[in-house]
Structure 1
C-alpha cells in the first residue's frame, strides 16, 4: 500500500512513523510535517530524526505549514518542549529534502491521479497542509484512495477543550475543508484512541523484548504517559497516532460506523468540536467512517512486534 504520512512529531507521531517504516506492507512515499505539537522547524527536525532512527534515510521528510488557516496557534501539551520527550534523538545525516509539504502532497497526488493509482493519505496532526493542497489543486482528490486521520472526538469529549480534540482544534477550518473534499475519510477519534492505552505492564513488555529501539521507544512512551486513570479507566496513557497506521495493517482489529461529520466553527464553547450525525438526522450523506472499537491486545501485539523488528 502506497501512503503519505502528514504529521507533527510528537511522541505518538514518532511511534506511528516507526510502525509504518517497519512494516513491509506499506510503501511510505514521503513524510510531510506541519506545525502542531511543536513549531514547524521542530516537527520537521523530529521527523528527520525518527526516519533516521528507523534506518530509512531514503524516505524524504518535508517541512510544511507553520500555523493554522485562521485563528490562534496552539501547541501540544504532552510531548515535551522539543516534541520528543524532552530529549533529542541523534540528528539525521540525510540531505534535507527539497520542497514544501504542500507542494510534495500536490505532486504525489497529481501523479497518482494521472497514473490511476490513488494513494492513502495518513494525517497525524493538524490538517493544514492537506487543506492548503486541496485549495490550491482540487484535482488531487482523484489521487487519494482515502484519508485516514487521527482527529476528532465524539462521546469521549475533547482533550484540549471539553468538546474538541487537539488536531481538529489546532486548525478547525482545515479539518472542515478536508471532511468536505469528497474523498472517503476514516477518523480515529479519541473515542477509539483512548482504548489504545499503554499501561505500565504493556510498556514493561516492550522494554523486555530487546531490539535496537525498544528501550528508547519505551522511554518516550513513559515520558508521554498522561496517567489519568479517572479518564482512561486504568494507569497509562493512550497512543493516539499509531492507531492510524495499525488500521491500515490490521483493519480487523477495529470497528466503526459511518456518519456525516462536520466541524463546529462558530460556537463559543464548542469551537473545533466534531459533530457526528450517525442516524441520518440531518439528511446529509455520510462523509466519514468513525472508528470507535479497538482490540487493544491485538493492537499492542502488532505495535510491539514491529518496534522490536525495527
Structure 2
C-alpha cells in the first residue's frame, strides 16, 4: 500500500524540491497540493506548484488555492532567499495558467480529502500553517481522521532565521502555528530549523545533483541559481556562516520523513507550543522539557536523520 500524502505548501524553491521528491517516490501517492502565501504571494505559489507538476508530468494532481494572508493579517514580507516570485525569479513564459487551479478552496479540499479516506492520509505542511489552522477550526475532528502530520517549521534552540528567535514558517503566522501544535493530536513530526541546518549536504553533492542530464535537473539548476548566490554571500555573514557552509533543502527533510519514517534516526518526544506575546520571541516554538504544560499529545521533534537515505531521495527527485 502506498502512503497517501496531501501537501500544503508556499511553493518556493525548497518546496519545489520537496514536492519533486514525493512525486518521484514509488512509496507514496500525492493526492493534491494546497497552496498558501509565504515565500511569495498566493498567486505565485499556486503558479509555482503548477510549474513543478508540469516538469514532473503530473499535472493531473489537483492544486488548490488557500489562505492569502495570516489569520490576523499583517504585512506579507515573503522570503527574498527564493526570489520575489518564489522560484528564483526565473520565469517561464509557457508556465501553466491559473485556469488549471481547482475551484474548491484549499481548506475545504483538506477537509474533503481527509474525510474521504479517514485514517489513511498524511498531511505534509511545508509553509505557514494558516490553511491547517483554518481547517481544524472548521472541523475539530480533523486530526482524529489523519494518519499523521509532518511539519517543516519552528525551532528548538531559539535560533531565528527571520527574527531573533523565530523560524520563517512559524513567524509568518504565529497564531496558526499555535493552533496547529495545540489542536492537532495525530502523530506529529517536526523538522525544525536547527535540525535542517545541522543536516546540510556538501556543496559537491548539490552540483552533482543539479548537473544530472535530465529536464528536471535543468529546471532545478535554473530556479536555485538565485538561492545559490545568496548562500555564497552569507558565507561571510556572522550568524549565517554555519548554514551557508552546505546545501540545505529545509522542506525536503519533512518530506523525507513523510515518505519513510526510518529516515529519522533520533528524535525528542516532547510537548511543544508557540510563543505569541514575547517582544523578542513571538513565533518561537516552545520546547516543554520539564513537562510544565502537561500536554497529553507530544510531538516527535527530529534531531538526526539518515543522510545517505536523504541523498538517495534527493537524487531520485531529479532523475
Question: Is the pair's TM-score, using the shorter chain for normalization, greater than 0.5?
Answer: yes
The answer on 1:73 being equivalent to 2:47 is no
Alignment deviations for residues 3-50 of structure 1 (CA, whole Å, 9 cap, x no partner): 100000100001111111111211111100001110111111111111
Find the counterpart in structure 2 of residue 304 from structure 1. Answer: 315
Find the counterpart in structure 1 of residue 245 from structure 2. Answer: 235
The answer on 1:92 being equivalent to 2:92 is no
| Structure 2 CA distance for aligned equivalents of residues 85 and 105 of structure 1 | 28
Q: Offset at 1:136?
A: 0.9
Count of aligned pairs: 305
Alignment deviations for residues 244-288 of structure 1 (CA, whole Å, 9 cap, x no partner): 111123333322111111100010110000010134344433421
Find the counterpart in structure 2 of residue 248 from structure 1. Answer: 258
| Structure 1 CA distance for aligned equivalents of residues 253 and 150 of structure 2 | 10
SS at match of 1:300: helix
Find the counterpart in structure 1 of residue 19 from structure 2. Answer: 17
- Which of 182, 188, 191 matches 1:185? 188
| Structure 2 CA distance for aligned equivalents of residues 129 and 14 of structure 1 | 19
RMSD: 1.9
Find the counterpart in structure 1 of residue 306 from structure 2. Answer: 295
Q: Offset at 1:233?
A: 5.8
| Structure 2 CA distance for aligned equivalents of residues 203 and 219 of structure 1 | 13
The answer on 1:201 being equivalent to 2:204 is yes
Q: Offset at 1:180?
A: 1.2
Q: Is the 8 Å Cα contact of residues 90 and 222 (structure 2) preserved in structure 1?
A: no
Q: Offset at 1:76?
A: 1.4
Range with bigger deviation, 89-98 or 104-113: 89-98
Report matched runs for 1:44-83 at 5 Å: 44-74=46-76, 75-83=78-86
Range with bigger deviation, 29-38 or 142-151: 142-151
Q: Is the 8 Å Cα contact of residues 148 and 186 (structure 2) preserved in structure 1?
A: yes
Q: Is the 8 Å Cα contact of residues 269 and 299 (structure 2) preserved in structure 1?
A: yes
| Structure 2 CA distance for aligned equivalents of residues 65 and 88 of structure 1 | 23
Range with bigger deviation, 172-181 or 297-306: 297-306
Q: Which runs of 5+ in 2 are unaligned?
A: none
Report matched runs for 1:94-173 at 5 Å: 95-113=100-118, 117-155=119-157, 157-173=159-175
Q: Offset at 1:96?
A: 2.9
Report matched runs for 1:256-271 at 5 Å: 256-271=267-282
Q: Is the 8 Å Cα contact of residues 73 and 170 (structure 1) preserved in structure 2?
A: no
Range with bigger deviation, 139-148 or 216-225: 216-225
